[in-house]
Amino acid sequence: MSICDLRIHDLRCFGNKTFHFTPHLNFVIAQNGAGKTSLLEALYLLSCGHSFRTREISPLIRHGQTEFTLFARLYNNDTLSIQKSLKNAPIIKINQSFCKRTSELAQYLPCQIYYQDIFSMIDGGPAQRRTMLDWGMFHVEQCYHQQLKSYYQILKQRNALLRQNKNRQWFKPWDCELDSLGESLHSLRKNYINSLQLKIEALLKELSNVECTLKYEKGWDKREQGISLYEQLQANFEKDVQKGYTTAGIHQADIHFLTEQNSAKKMFSRGQQKILLIAVKMAQTELITAPCLHLLDDIFAELDIEHIQRLLNKISKSQGQFIISMLPNSRDHIKMYKNENIISL
């Protein structure tokens, strides 16, 4: 899906503004503070129902107003709209039909964001990397989202029980359910990581000269001794009671980015890390059957000229719609793309 027109009303610095996009490559050029990131934020909201900068509504609404509205027309003439207010419940529509869950938006318009927090995939904790993994799994495996939702519902019940009761017998039903769902989800994740690794390797050959391997840890049996999740839950019972939460399971999973010598965090420069993480995100979109909306915010920072040109060359040959924000002094990098859409703010 590609967005053709976007109308913004009272979002951030925009009062009433309309933007037109081409189906493939679009450049948004402006100085800092002009609204480049806010424009990408509006597009992201139409895909996910929330901002990538904040989960609060008030910072999104233009000063002095009480609500914002976004409306987009796609190239196939479908429409998306979202209205968020300080007083009323959000209103989200796909083709004028009310959308009850934001997951419907995400499924309808897959969107990958490349923002300044991209380094959190390396610098941040495991939750950041699980979020990246869950995004890809959501779009590739139809059963994954519901299984993951069920898993977390059971996990919530078990954690509540840990704070109330120390009788092991009460935990057996929950542990059996967590074991069954956890093993299923792990199997899906493992297959996905294997496919993702191949895509990343191919992309890195086009984008850079670095190599990296993903190591996936499922969240239990760290020594890989063949211990089931149920057995791990039994072994960790006393520790779980003491801590008041479940310490093993797919909610503790992690991904490590490794080089031949050490971790990518220790061995790669900041520019090399950024290229790696861009490759990871682009690789995820290549595993999706539907074209993806790519939002790249100030993507050239930390990259040298060679990596910028290799990235642009790859983007120009890739499927999907790309909307790339940049500063005016980056214009020289896009001289060869004279026929593409340039938006000046």
Q: What is the pLDDT of residues 210-235, one digit of tens each?
A: 999 999 999 999 989 999 999 999 99
**pLDDT tens readout for residues 2-17:** 999 999 999 999 999 9
pLDDT band (50, 70, 90) for residue 340 = confident
pLDDT band (50, 70, 90) for residue 278 = very high
Burial state string for 151-178 with b = 16 or more CB within 10 A and e = fewer than 16: beebbeebeebbeeeeeeeebeebbebb
pLDDT above 90 (res 329) = no
Type of residue at 178: L
- Return the closest-CA partner of residue 325 out of 305, 290, 301, 292: 301
> What is the rounded average pLDDT for all residues in the chain?
94
Output the six-digit token pair for 317.
């040959």
pLDDT band (50, 70, 90) for residue 134 = very high
Diameter over CA atoms, the chain: 70
**pLDDT tens readout for residues 163-208:** 987 788 899 999 999 999 999 999 999 999 999 999 999 999 999 9
